[in-house]
Amino acid sequence: MPIIGDLLTVDVNKPCQKLAKDITAYDGILEQRIFDLPAIVVSRTDLVNEINDEASWEKHVGHSLRALRPVAGDGLFTAYSHEPNWRKAHNILTPAFSKKAMTAYHSTMVSTVRELVDSWNAKQGQWIDIAAAGNRFTTEVIGRAGIGHSFNRLDEVSDDPFTTTVLRELRYANRRTDAIPLYTKLFGKAQRNQHLQDKAWLRSQISIIIDERRNAGTPATDADILDSMLTTPDPDTGATLDDANIINQILTLLVAGSETSANAIGFALHYLANNPDIATACRAEIDTYWPDSDIPDCEFGDIAPMRYLRRVVDETLRLWPVAPGYFRQAKHDTTIGGEYHFKAGDWVFVLLLAAHRDTAAWGPDAAQFNPDRFLAENLRSLPPRIYKPFGTGPRACIGRQFALHEIMLTLAAILHQFELEPEPGYELTASETITIKPEGLRLKVNARSR
């Protein structure tokens, strides 16, 4: 329509899910324009495979990520690739997510998982708000393992103010009204004022954590992510990160690291509760590694061999990737699909919610949950660059191994200890911020009979 463009076709609460429904009628590629903001959206697997080729395409910090920059600044997730702090932080933090580092974080993860299990033991027979419980838990995991700080105990009833504020900032960053001219000035003043207060408060809390660590000194062994940011020089330049950027990186870890894992755990628990045969197969596998009734003091290497559980996680992330999509821009003039032409700097939005359900690649049952889709013999027939739940290329999520280990460990412990009871009549639906979260999902847990 004149002036407003395609505004009336947008679901402001669930824009990506609405697009995922609409795009199949347009052969997996469409342009949507809201006022003067156009976006080309792609979900067709063959086109996505080309767009994920680093020879011609690279990450674009799109509109929704720019909206998060007032919170996370030039942190790894929201930095532009040309910003010096991106390369510097990437060089410094990459070793902090290596296998050696992950081994050091493992014991803290295990103790936090035990605390979650203990808190759920006290709630047997009660409905548990899975999204809220997940956010509290994963914030604690990244807080304790990554920066040596606890925001709350998992047996506390009330939400901690830090997690509450982070979630409010995510909702603010994901608002769609900022594409409407003058809307914020005319109608969004209260929201903006709350955002400014939240931003200042979050940064002040992180600054306190940094000062406390600096005053305490760096341990000789078992340094965590915060220690790396405080003391490790960039191997290319010899420079360390300044405090403003360390705050940006910690906020990025806490926002992206907690939301993504919490949501993946929530969606996986929904499918496990509603597919008892799959849950039973998972338990049989877990029991071969953990034969006793108690959660063992397992080693880091005990988790990865649980291959069936990993397929459950992979299939969950296919249907509900950690973010609904990501932005890519052309490095030079290029063409995709032999007919769609782009100039250098043109960008597209890869809609993973739809691409991961493209029947051309994933089969006629692509919308169904089936972990065996990730058996090696089934994966060989897929294009190489289409399954990207953590993004793609050098700008893919640096913490994906941390997240996968955390998700696997948590699901293994929950399945080992509990039977999951779904809420009668509940149909899975998701809310959207920068990430996708199961909405209204409640489960009961009951002690597992052995």
Catalytic, out of 397, 410, 433, 435: 397
> By three-state DSSP, how is residue 447 classified?
strand
CA dihedral 279, 284, 289, 295 (to 10 degrees): 50
Catalytic, out of 252, 260, 392, 433: 260
Active site residue 298: no
Active site residue 342: no
Distance CA 123, CA 446 (A): 9
Distances in whole angstroms, Cα of residue 53 to Cα of each of 56, 321, 384: 6, 20, 10
Which tokens is 52 given?
Answer: 């994920």
Catalytic, out of 162, 267, 390, 402: 390
Say if residue 298 carries a ligand binding annotation.
no
Which tokens is 335 given?
Answer: 């063409």
> Half-sphere exposure of residue 359, counting CA atoms within 13 Å on the CB side?
6
**Pairing state between β 334-336 and 442-447:** unpaired
Cβ–Cβ under 8 Å, residues 208 and 151: no
What residue has token string 């329509």? Answer: 1
Query: How many CB atoms are located within 10 Å of the residue 107 CB?
Result: 15
Distance CA 283, CA 323 (A): 28
Q: Annotate 355-377 with DSSP letters as a single string.
A: HTT-HHHH-TTTTS--GGGGSHH
**Helices 307-319 and 243-274, interaxial angle, to 10°?**
100
**Pairing state between β 325-330 and 57-59:** antiparallel
Q: Which segments of 100-209 are extended strands (E)?
A: 128-129
> By three-state DSSP, how is residue 208 classified?
helix
Cβ–Cβ under 8 Å, residues 353 and 15: no
Active site residue 390: yes
> By three-state DSSP, how is residue 329 classified?
strand
Longest Cα pair distance anywhere in the chain, in angstroms?
Answer: 67
Cβ–Cβ under 8 Å, residues 43 and 20: yes
Phi, psi at residue 43, to the nearest 5°? -135, -10
Cβ–Cβ under 8 Å, residues 306 and 289: yes
Q: Annotate 53-96 with DSSP letters as a single string.
A: -TTTEEE---HHHHHHHHHHTTSTTT--TTSHHHHHHHHHHGGG
Annotated binding site for heme: 397
Please enumerate, by residue number, every residue annotated as part of a binding site: 397
Active site residues: 260, 390, 397
